[in-house]
Amino acid sequence: MKRRSVALLLMLCALLAGCSSGTTPAEEPPEQSILLGFSQLGWESAWRLANSESIKEAAERAGVSLMYENAEQKQDRQIKAIRSFIAYQVDVIAFSPIVETGWDNVLQEAKDAGIPVLTTDRMVETGDESLYAGFIGSDFYQEGVAAGEFLIEKAEREGLSDLNIVELSGTLDSTPMLQRAEGFRDAIAGQENLHLIDSMSGDFLRPKGKECMKALLEKHARIDVLYSHNDAMTLGAIAAMEEVGLVPGRDVIIITVDGEQAAIDLLKQGSINCVIECKPQIGDMVMELAKKLAAGEEIPRCTYSEERVFTEFDADLDSIPPRGY
């Protein structure tokens, strides 16, 4: 930790010069705060707002000084923010990459400056794995698998055959989009009664979710299932279904990811059939890992949050605690 070494050096100089530092030799020097530069990707959903809050609150609790930048959904702004953290010589850089590719140059700059980098929530794809120290966030592939497994169970329990599925995917080239799509496809592979007939990107945004669902309903004579990569798009899609007189949850089976309070409420009302949890509250883990990195310690390459699946078949939906987002 650069700041801690500087503080210790100043204390030593003061003692040698016979000046009083105000501490007796028996007293421990106070723990120096680390400086963390954090680049958030935007504020596209309630999930994202909760994630930003979690980072800020956890930093305060952990005594971490936070330089926080929001890139408003633009990769070049994230790159600019990371460059400013490098110029400021922060102890650690953390960021939630909007897309997976295009980070190698700026990560190399951080490495050259000796600043460890942690990716949070989303991952990067790079030719050189040494350019970042690790990742903390959700297992998006497993979320996609859980969505597929729910649908298989639903079809089996209710004897449903030949289901036409549409997918609303998230931001193209982002980790949750890529992995939720892959996990779902792998889970339903070989199920002859399940047909994925279309997929559109709603960019994780509620208005785009509505727009895409409207287009899909116009394009396809029969849609039985919606698999949506996040709750924001799902809420938009539900509005589009209702506008054409469809009853969500009954006429169209709805599977959504995130677990916002609004989605859980609709699950309880029967308008959504399955909610896959994706936890935004990862702030405390981010701080723990950042402190380790600042102290020169190794961290695991991948740290996943524990997540649940809530479905219409659960007996205890009323016992789900308030979600906080």
**Interface residues with ligand AHR (CB under 6 A)?**
44-45, 47-48, 121-122, 176, 204, 230, 232, 257-258, 278
Report the residue number, 44 or 211, with the smaller CB distance to ligand AHR. Answer: 44
d(CA 251, CA 231): 19
- Least separation in angstroms between CB 237 and ligand AHR: 14
Mutual orientation of helices 261-269 and 231-243 as an angle, nearest 10°? 40
Report the residue number, 155 or 183, with the smaller CB distance to ligand AHR. Answer: 183
- Least separation in angstroms between CB 19 and ligand AHR: 51
- Least separation in angstroms between CB 181 and ligand AHR: 13
d(CA 114, CA 116): 6
Report the residue number, 115 or 278, with the smaller CB distance to ligand AHR. Answer: 278
Report the residue number, 211 or 224, with the smaller CB distance to ligand AHR. Answer: 211
Write the CA distances from 155 to 162, 250, 271, integer angstroms.
9, 13, 17
- For residue 110, what are the contacts with CB-CB under 8 A and spacing of at least 6? 82, 85, 86, 93, 116, 117, 131
Mutual orientation of helices 46-62 and 283-294 as an angle, nearest 10°? 50
Beta bridge partners of 199: 167
For residue 126, the 8-state DSSP code is -
d(CA 294, CA 102): 25
- Least separation in angstroms between CB 303 and ligand AHR: 15
Task: Find out whether 52 and 282 touch, Cβ atoms under 8 Å.
Answer: no
Report the residue number, 230 or 273, with the smaller CB distance to ligand AHR. Answer: 230
Residue 85 tokens read as: 């953290």
Report the residue number, 204 or 227, with the smaller CB distance to ligand AHR. Answer: 204
- Least separation in angstroms between CB 185 and ligand AHR: 18
Rg of the chain over all Cα atoms, to the nearest angstrom: 23
- Least separation in angstroms between CB 6 and ligand AHR: 36
Tell me the CB-side half-sphere exposure of residue 302, using CA atoms within 13 A.
9
Report the residue number, 145 or 257, with the smaller CB distance to ligand AHR. Answer: 257
d(CA 116, CA 188): 39
- Least separation in angstroms between CB 269 and ligand AHR: 21
